[in-house]
Every structure is written in structure tokens, then in C-alpha cells.
Amino acid sequence: MPGDLRDGRIVIVGASLAGLRAAETLREEGFSGSLTVVGDEPYPPYDRPPLSKQVLLGKASADTTTLPMRRDPDADWRLGAAATGLDPLEKRVMLADGESLPFDRLLIATGTRARPWPNPEEASLDGVFTLRTSDEAGGLAARLAAGPGRVLVIGAGFTGSEIASACRERGIEVTVAERGPAPLVGALGGTLSKLAAVMQRNHGVDLRCGVTVTALRGDGNGRFIGADLSDGSRVEADVCVVALGAVRNVEWLAESGLAAGPRGVACDAGCRAFNMYGIVTDDVFVAGDVSRFPHPLFGYQMLSLEHWGNAVAQAEVAAHNMVSPGPLRRPHLAVPTFWSTQFGLNIKSVGVPTYSDHVVIAQGSLEARRLAMVYGFQGRVTAAVTVDMAKSLDYYEHLIETAAPFPPPPGAADRAIAADIPIPSDVPDPSGLSHGPTVALTGHLPDRRLTVVQPTR
Amino acid sequence: MDSDTLLARITDYENRPNPYPLYAELREAGPVVRQADGSYLIGTYHEIAALLHDPRMSADPRSRTAPSPSGETVKPPFLRLDDPEHHRLRTLAMRPFGPPHSPGRVDAMRGEISQLTEELMGAFHAGGQIDIVDDFAYPLPVTVICRLLGVPREDEPLFRAWSDALVASADVKPDEDSPEQDQTGNQARIEMGRYLVDLAEQRRGHPSDDLLSAFVNEPDPALRLTREDLAETAVLLLIAGHETTVNLITNGVLTLMRRPEHLDQLRREPDLLPQAVEELLRYEPPVHMRERIPHADIDVAGTTIPKGASVVLVLASGNRDPKRFHEPDRFDPTRPDNQHFGFGSGIHLCYGAPLARIEAQAALGALIPHLGTARLVQDPPPYRQNAMLRGPRHLPIQL
């Protein structure tokens, strides 16, 4: 093999899902050199989806979500060690403890962290949480188990909605404050967000939309006791969960010369990082939530995804390409998918719902709480979301992959009358949401404003 | 050979012991092979998978443009209904059987199933001859489904006749749908339904721990099955609860008897058994074919299948598609990537799969230690008439 790509030193920065899957794949593909995995948390790789679901329900403890290993990647694990910088010329990763790790090839998989409450003093009140890490989930779960009088959730994206669902399932009173017009609207568009709002209210959530939280209030002894809202109202609560979306962990790359910014680290379809001039690097690869990559099904726009499946698929492609010569490298073209369970509903998505201008309810109905909604952009199918109808998802994925015409062809037995009536998909500008979008189209479309970065307040 | 008579050859009883070369021929001629009678055969994995997940494909026989000679108009059981009615009935039927309302129900039967296998094997003695079907693989699932549903075991001869007639009328046959056979099947279905509803009615107000009791004693009127739906659902559960598992167990014994090295491997590594059962479901599945009917003209791999046509998905052929499985004709109990069609796929994915898995694992696990010195009396054994639910009618072995 030229240059013997199966040997040498590989460093992976990021010890979560993408980092682990990449490490395993490197070994599966025959990499026999030295492998170092750097992670800023002191824990081995763990799974995050259960943190906002089973853990908050008290059905699992936060320290039991360790990711199973498909094989021992035979790596030198540098856990509890944050990377602080990258010297691309010397090919070294600097660590917080002053050490630096030399590499021949580097994989950046540093993911994201929860966006903190902008006022640090208020954020530090006892009872104010964010939810991203195992520690955060453990702290929040303990507080929920103690039976708070009310929980305030700021932001009704997927994380915020799942937290609210878990609270209601435990019989805890909960208020959700969302700056946008309805829960999940940034991810699913207007129609499904109406169903989400109805479900929340039916389950007893005190849902406040079109409002922002202007201040978190303490009792004078550092304990959170409530919040002020922009409509002049006050919410009294013992626990506050700030679910404002995620921040990409790119600060350590500030001096690296890579195309790293708030939307992630830009890379090509083969996961090779771009530098600040848009020139592709040969030895720095990117995977998972921190990456931003072009996708042909969505107009080659750069996509940032915070999806479990993307972290796995992209890590596998990146690892393969790190040990393969050019002609054998593969593109990362997986169709984005994600799922969520909340308020008794199983929501699954394929494609990019925000890359749409119209939607139809292709099967089922909002009234039945069971449906398949198909999203189209300029006359072709670009996404589908099912509610309690996951078995249809494969079919719609195929329509997306083949750029099938929108609206989709008739014939489904449970096709609704609504299937003939495309309505605007009503995807709002992300700047109008409390939380960040879990899918961000970070390229540029002249007629849409989906590229606006969440402004800090 | 003409590929437009493949279905006729597949269903020809002559080819029952080994239809797999015909399946290879089908994949070679496919993915979509039109038959002389106007139906379409599909035997390649990816096309089958796509069609099983395609919401435009109907499972309802009434969707056919050309109805069967008997003019079947009664509402079929949910296995052959489309959403949303299929979903409603399946969900109601699932309530007392599985998660989310009855988690652990099936798993809790493990002990009882092991005890039953022990009892059945109590009649075996070294040197004697047994019939795996009549002495073991049939009585086990019948007893289990009777207990689960709440049907007296001694009524077995009664429902066996109905079951035989029903299954025969539901077989896939090209060109030769006989009105008599359909008539007999319908009659059996009505009588069996009446019998099961009567049983259920006896439990109204006196519930015991079985599914019929649960169905008639459901307190929420919105979740109650109508009399007609109860009849169809109970018939379906009783029949599906044993007609397939008997083949799975028998095919398993036959496969292992033909491969002493794997028999030996499983004796040494009993932990492999769950994986081995999955491989059996791929390699020798009990259900070989399912029919679907498109609700609209649909394009499959470049061929337009017209609305209302009968499409026969040859699941057992998809399970042996070399484009999907490495060395598909090799039985490999350690096969890592084994997403077979043994229980179908899509919205009609077998409802009883967890129970079938437990029964097959328990049955084979108990039999394997006795098979090392046994030998097949007849190979191939005599097969059942049915091409869709394929399996030996008898499997005599010398212990």
C-alpha cells in the first residue's frame, strides 16, 4: 500500500460515538499503527440518546449507558484530557496538560456541547441544568427523582421536548418556554409542530410559545426559584433545564488554519477537512456532530447534523478513508435519519425536513396521531417524518435517494385526502427559535434564510 | 425452461423437497418475472424488501383485479388487511400478548415450554423410532398456543381439521383456484370462528389468564373487538400459532441431521442456539411465499406491475439471494449479518416471532443431545402439500 497507510500514528480527538466507531473501523480495516483517542470527559465512550429518555425516567442510571465495543480498538485512551490546539505544520495536537501528541493522520470528532444559559451568574444557580453529558444527566435525574414542584424547560426542540415528556411521565409539573411558534417547529416545520403542541398540552405540559425567558431568578442563596418571561409573566419552579441547542466544540482549532467555525469544521464528502482557504487537507479528517459536509441530495449544501446515525456512518467512512489510497476512498452520502420518543409518540425522520418548501400528509392523519409526512423541495421528495409509522420509512428513504417527484405517487392504502394537497412546509428561520436546529443547512440558498447562526442574546 | 411457468413448477409437489434450484432460476430470470397466469413472481432480496415496506402494496386479497372464483368478499383477518384497519386490529390483538401493554408475557412462558419439551421427550427411548412431526414438532406449539389462547387441548382433533382446510385454501397456486377448496376453506373459517367465539363468551365475566379472556373482558369499549373481528383474529392466532412453528422445528431437525458437524457444534456451544435459529429462519424458513397486490401501477426494477395484479414475493428465495448474503446456500449458525425474511418484514412482520423463537430454541435445545446417535429413516422425508407453508409432513428418525 502506498505510504503504508495502515501503519503510522493516528490521533482521534473526541472519545464519544464517532471517535469510538472510527477507532474500531480503523482496526477492522487493518490499521496496525499506534492509535490514540483523546477525550475531555473522564469516561469511556457512552451513548447519549438514553440520557434524555430512560435516565430521566429513572429507568437507567446515567453511568450505565457505556457504548458497547464492537471490537477492542487497541488504543491509548487519553481520557479527561482536553485538546487545546492543533499545529498542522508540525502535525501535533496540544493537550490541556501541556503535552503534545504527534500524528501522521488526525481525526477531529469533538462533537458539540450544550449551549449554556447566556448569563453566567444565572446559569450557575443551583437547580439550573443543561443536558448533554452523562454527568449532567445524572445530576438532573437525581433532581427529578427528588420530586420537584415544577420544572421549567427553556427550548422546545427535541431535547427540551423529551425532557418535558419524561417529567410528565413521572408526574412532575412542567412549563416549556419556546421562542418559536410551536415545539419542534425548527426540525419538522409548521404542520407537525401543531401536533407536537397538542400532544404536549394533552399530557399536561404548560406550554408557552412565542415567548422568551428574560431572566432566571434566585432566592438570594444561590438557589433557582423561577424565571421571568418576555410576556411579563413569571414561572415559579425548582428546576430549570436550558435546552437551547448545541455549540460545536471548535474553539481548540482557532489557530489551526482549518475552516472551523460556529457551524462546524468544513470537510469534503470524503471527510477530509478544508483549511481556511477552502483547500482540502490530506491528513486531517472530520466526523460526527462537529463536521459540516456537502451532500448531493440536498444541493451539495454543507450539512451539520446532530444525529446518532450520522456520527456512526461518517466515522466509518472517515476511518476507511484514513487508511485507504485515493481511488479506494468512499464518499459519506448517507441519508440523514433520526428518531425521538416523547409523549407516547415515536417520531422518525429521514432526509432533511428543513430542506423543503412543501409537505403532504401521505399516509394517516394528524387526528389519528399516526402518519407519514413527506417533504418536497422544488418538486422532488427531500424528507419524510413518520409518527408511529416507522415501517414506512424505508420506502420514503428510497424516494429521497432517487429524487422522486413530489408529491409522492398515490396508492397507499391508508392515504389521506390530505395527500393531494401540498401545503407550505413552514420551516421557520432558526433565529426565531429558542434552541438551535439539529440539522443545519449551512450553505447558501438565495431565497431562504436557513444559514443564520443562532445569535447570542 | 420457460420462466413464465416457474410458479407452476415451484408449487408442483414434485419439487417440494428442494425448491431452491427453482428459486435460483427465478432470481436469474428476475427481479420481476411475469407468470403465464398474469401474476408476478419476485425472488430477489432487495426488491422483496422494498415491496414489503411499500405502502402502495396491499395485503388484502380483495384488492385483486381478478377476484378468486369463490368471490371472496368477507373481511379477512388482519394478516391480510391494510392500514389503518390492519393497524387497529393488530394493536388490539397485541395488547394482551406483547409490549407495551403486556411486556414479559411471552418470555414468562419459557419455563412452561421447557417443561412441555421434557414431557414430550419422555416418550422417546433409545433405539426406538419416532416421528419428529407427530411426536414432537406438532404437539409442542399446539399445546403452547392452546394454553396461551385458552383453547382446551382436547379439542385439537376438532380444530386440526378446520386448520387443514383453511391452510389448504390459502396456499399459493397458479391457475387452479378451485371453488370447492375455497368453499371448504371458508366453511372451516366460519365454523372455527364460531367455536372460538363461543369459548371466549364462556369467559366473559369469568376471566382466566389467557388471550380469549382478555379479549372479551377488555374494560374499555373503544378497545374491544367486535364479534366478527374476534372470530377472525382468534382463528388467525390459533392457526398462525402452530402451522409455522411445526415447520420451523422440523426443518431445524432435518437440517441438523443432514449436517453432523453443525449438530456437534451446537452440542458443544449451546449459546449459539439463538443465532442458529435465525440462520434456520433464513435457510429453511417455514413461510416461503406471501402475496401482495399493488394499489396503483408500480415500477419494480424497470417493470411496471399493473394495479390489482397478484404479486408473489418468494421470501425463501430472497433469503438465498447471493446479492444480499455471502454464500447463501451454506447453513452457517454463526452468520453475523442475518436480516432474513423468516418472519417477513414491514407492517405485517410476524406478530408471534418472539414466541416462535423461544419455542424453536427450546425444542432444538432439548432435542440436540438426543440427535447425535440418531439417523434419518427417510431422506428426503415426505412433505406437506403446501408450497407456501413448506415443511415435512413426517420426519421419521431412528434414535
pLDDT of B345-392, one tens digit each? 999 999 899 999 999 999 999 999 989 889 999 999 999 999 999 999
Give Cα A155 distance to the centre of its chain: 14
Q: Give residue for cell 442458529.
A: B276
Name the CA radius of gyration of chain A, rounded.
22
Please say if the pLDDT value at position B59 is more than 70.
Answer: yes
Contact A395 B349 (CB under 8 A): no
Q: How far is A395 from chain B (nearest CA, A)?
A: 5
Contact B296 A410 (CB under 8 A): yes
Name the A residues in 336-375 with CB < 8 Å from any B CB: 362-364, 368, 370, 372
Query: Is B49 an interface residue toward A (CB < 8 Å)?
Result: yes
Query: Considering only CB atoms, which chain A residues are within 8 Å of B301?
Result: none
* The pairing of beta strand A291-295 with beta strand A301-305: antiparallel
Q: How far is B209 from chain A (nearest CA, A)?
A: 27
Q: How far is A396 from chain B (nearest CA, A)?
A: 9
**Cell digits of residue A393:** 420509512
Percent helix, strand and coil across chain A, each to the nearest 5: 25, 35, 45
Query: Is B264 an interface residue toward A (CB < 8 Å)?
Result: no
Q: What angle do CA A399, A321, A441 make, to 5 degrees?
A: 45
pTM of the model: 0.88
Q: What angle do CA B373, B258, B384 make, to 5 degrees?
A: 110
- B398: nearest Cα among B383, B381, B384, B118: B381
Contact A412 B55 (CB under 8 A): yes
Given CA atoms A398, A399, A401, A402 in this order, what sign does their dihedral have?
positive
Contact A413 B49 (CB under 8 A): no
| Separation CA B221–CA B209 (nearest Å) | 20
| Separation CA B335–CA B275 (nearest Å) | 8
Contact A395 B50 (CB under 8 A): yes
Q: What angle do CA A402, A405, A410 make, to 5 degrees?
A: 110
Q: What is the pLDDT of residue A431?
A: 79
Mean pLDDT score across all residues of chain B: 92
Query: Is B45 an interface residue toward A (CB < 8 Å)?
Result: no
| Separation CA A237–CA A150 (nearest Å) | 5
Nearest to B56 among A364, A393, A411 (CB): A411
Contact B56 A368 (CB under 8 A): no
Q: Which helix (H) or strand (E) holds B262?
A: helix B260-268
Q: What is the pLDDT of residue A454?
A: 42
Other CB atoms within 10 Å distance of the CB of residue B359? 29
**Cell digits of residue B333:** 449458525
| Separation CA B233–CA B74 (nearest Å) | 14
- A86: nearest Cα among A247, A290, A270: A290
Q: What residues contact residue B8 under an 8 Å CB cut-off, 6+ apart?
A: B35, B36, B174, B175
Query: Considering only CB atoms, which chain B residues are within 8 Å of A414?
Result: 55, 82-84, 87
Q: What is the pLDDT of residue B126?
A: 83
| Separation CA B353–CA A179 (nearest Å) | 46
**Cell digits of residue A94:** 496540544
Query: Is A394 an interface residue toward B (CB < 8 Å)?
Result: yes
**Order of strands across the sheet with A439-441?**
A260-261, A264-266, A291-295, A301-305, A439-441
Asked if residues A16 and A45 have their Cβ atoms less than 8 Å apart, the reply is yes
Q: What is the DSSP annotation of A118-168?
A: S-HHHHTSBTEEE-SSHHHHHHHHHHHHT--SEEEEE--SHHHHHHHHHHH
Predicted confidence (pLDDT) per residue in B209-258, tens digit:
999 999 999 999 889 999 999 999 999 999 998 889 999 999 999 999 99
Beta strands in A390-455 (DSSP E): 423-424, 439-441
Q: Which amino acid is at A366?
A: L
Cis peptide, bond prior to residue B84, ω within 30 of zero: yes
Query: Is B298 an interface residue toward A (CB < 8 Å)?
Result: yes
Query: Is B58 an interface residue toward A (CB < 8 Å)?
Result: yes
- A132: nearest Cα among A17, A224, A227, A38: A17
Q: Which amino acid is at B171?
A: D
Q: What is the DSSP annotation of A167-233?
A: HHHTT-EEEEEESSSSTTHHHH-HHHHHHHHHHHHHTT-EEEES--EEEEEE-SSSBEEEEEETTS-
Which residue in A has a C-alpha nearest to residue B308's C-alpha?
A: A411
Q: State the ipTM, two decimals.
A: 0.83
Contact A411 B82 (CB under 8 A): no
Query: At B69, is the pLDDT very low, low, confident or very high (cuts 50, 70, 90)?
Result: low
Task: Classify the phi-psi angles of A222: left when phi > 0, otherwise alpha if psi is within -120 to 50, otherwise beta.
Answer: left
Query: Considering only CB atoms, which chain B residues are within 8 Å of A413?
Result: 55-56, 58, 60, 82-83, 295
**Cell digits of residue B275:** 443465532
**Adjacent-strand bridge partners of A258:** A275
Q: How far is B8 from chain A (nearest CA, A)?
A: 29
Q: What is the pLDDT of residue A152?
A: 98
Q: What is the pLDDT of residue B171?
A: 78
Task: Classify the phi-psi angles of A74: left when phi > 0, otherwise alpha if psi is within -120 to 50, otherwise beta.
Answer: left
How many CA atoms, within 13 angstroms, populate the side-chain half-sphere of residue A196? 34
Contact B55 A368 (CB under 8 A): no
Query: At B175, is the pLDDT very low, low, confident or very high (cuts 50, 70, 90)?
Result: low
Which residue in B has a C-alpha nearest to residue A410's C-alpha?
A: B296
Count of CB contacts below 8 A, A vs B?
Answer: 54
- B159: nearest Cα among B195, B209, B128: B195
| Separation CA A137–CA B352 (nearest Å) | 37
| Separation CA B26–CA B41 (nearest Å) | 8
Query: Considering only CB atoms, which chain A residues are within 8 Å of B60?
Result: 413
Q: Is B321 exposed, middle or buried (0-12, 13-18, 19+ CB in 10 A)?
A: buried
Query: Is B347 an interface residue toward A (CB < 8 Å)?
Result: yes
- Residue B331's alpha-carbon distances to B31, B282, B321, in angstroms, are 24, 9, 14
- A183: nearest Cα among A171, A168, A167, A163: A163
Q: What residues contact residue B306 under an 8 Å CB cut-off, 6+ apart?
A: B65, B294, B297
Alpha carbon dihedral B42, B47, B50, B52, in 10-degree steps, equals 20
Asked if residues B245 and B238 have their Cβ atoms less than 8 Å apart, the reply is no
Predicted confidence (pLDDT) per residue in B109-140, tens digit:
999 999 999 999 998 888 889 999 999 999 99
| Separation CA B381–CA B356 (nearest Å) | 23
Q: What is the pLDDT of residue B174?
A: 64
**Adjacent-strand bridge partners of A409:** none
Name the B residues in 82-111 with CB < 8 Å from any A CB: 82-84, 87
Contact B50 A372 (CB under 8 A): no
Q: What residues contact residue A446 under an 8 Å CB cut-off, 6+ apart?
A: none
Query: Considering only CB atoms, which chain A residues are within 8 Å of B307?
Result: 411
Q: How far is A320 from chain B (nearest CA, A)?
A: 20
Residues in chain A with pLDDT < 50?
1, 445-457
| Separation CA A116–CA A122 (nearest Å) | 10
Query: Considering only CB atoms, which chain A residues are within 8 Å of B298?
Result: 409, 411
Contact B82 A370 (CB under 8 A): no
Query: Is B46 an interface residue toward A (CB < 8 Å)?
Result: no
| Separation CA B333–CA B278 (nearest Å) | 8
**Adjacent-strand bridge partners of A303:** A293, A441
- B294: nearest Cα among B52, B38, B63, B46: B63
Query: Considering only CB atoms, which chain B residues are within 8 Å of A370?
Result: 84, 87
